[in-house]
Amino acid sequence: MEEQELIKNCLAGDKKSLEKLILSIQPLVFNLSLRFLWNRMDAEDATQEILIKIVTNLSKFSGHSKFKTWTYRVASNYLINQKQTKVEAVLTSFDIYSEDLRNFKAPLEYNLPDKMLLEKEMKISCTLAMLQCLNRELRVTFILGSIIKLNSKVGAEVTETTPENFRKRLEQSRKILSSFLNGNCGVYNPANSCRCNKRINTALSCGRMEKNNLSFANKIESYNTEMEELCSLSGIYNNHGKFKSERDFIAQLNKLLSTKNIISAN
């Protein structure tokens, strides 16, 4: 079914078309939200609010761009304008994060059977946490341009700027992250002493990671099995794969839709 026809059917009140539309964009919204916010519960809450915002404003979609582009714009605007998160309140600068990485509060060695899974959890958690040190404008630009890989024309449309400004922001965010990784991360620069497997015990003892409640490593829909580009910024982030949510957004939206008519073609 063509995009415009699908949206037309949604506006006409066709429930199956609406579910199809939501299912097509929910992974995009959730992955953007999780990378932007780091915290899984916050990302799921944001995804639900963004999907509701998209549904309730569906009649405002002009069709001048792809629906996916419009979806990213709605999601990005919502995320940028959220109140400060708990993670942002802690990771206020790269200097603070760098200092945290130098502190170990538990033995370095972890050799239990789940070591590889927890090491992957540490790597994803740590590299996504770094993004929280970027201001929100640079953060969303880096996610859209380097991880989701939107070109500068589409990225500019999403962030409501010019392609030139989008490229400048993307270059700035890459320089900042590359500099931090080069000075701290042992995956990016083997000369650094910090290693994900050395921080497992510290993360467990501080409560930053819970074995029975992982946020990333065991909740990946598709994982890039190719060898990591160890000295590549894009290689480190794209190796994460695509994250999946365990929340049933369709059921929640259907519950909302059953209480009142929130879609209008006017």
Q: Is residue 100 part of a domain?
A: yes
**Residues 243-260: b if buried by 16+ CB within 10 A, e if exposed:** bebebebeeebeeebeee
Q: What is the pLDDT of residues 121-150, one digit of tens each?
A: 999 999 999 999 999 999 999 999 999 999
Q: How many structural domains are present in the chain?
A: 1
Q: Which amino acid is at 148?
A: I
Q: What is the pLDDT of residues 166-202, one digit of tens each?
A: 999 999 999 999 999 999 998 888 899 899 999 999 9
Q: Is residue 39 part of a domain?
A: yes
> pTM to 2 decimals?
0.90
Look at residue 162 in the predicted model and tell me its pLDDT.
98
Q: Is residue 18 part of a domain?
A: yes
Q: What are residue 194's phi and psi, to 5 degrees?
A: -65, 130
CA pair distance 262, 55, nearest whole angstrom:
8
Q: Is residue 224 part of a domain?
A: yes
Q: Is residue 266 part of a domain?
A: no
Confidence of residue 26 (pLDDT cuts 50, 70, 90): very high
Report the CATH number that the domain containing residue 24 is assigned in CATH.
Answer: 1.20.140.160
Lowest mean pLDDT among 70-84, 149-163, 194-208, 229-243: 229-243
Token pair of 187 as six digits: 């995956």
Task: Count the alpha carbons within 13 Å of 47 in the hemisphere toward its beta carbon.
Answer: 31
Q: Is residue 265 part of a domain?
A: no
With a cut of 50, say whether residue 160 has pLDDT above it. yes
Q: Is residue 12 part of a domain?
A: yes
Domain encompassing residue 213: 3-259
Q: Is residue 264 part of a domain?
A: no
Residue with the two structure tokens 């365990």: 246
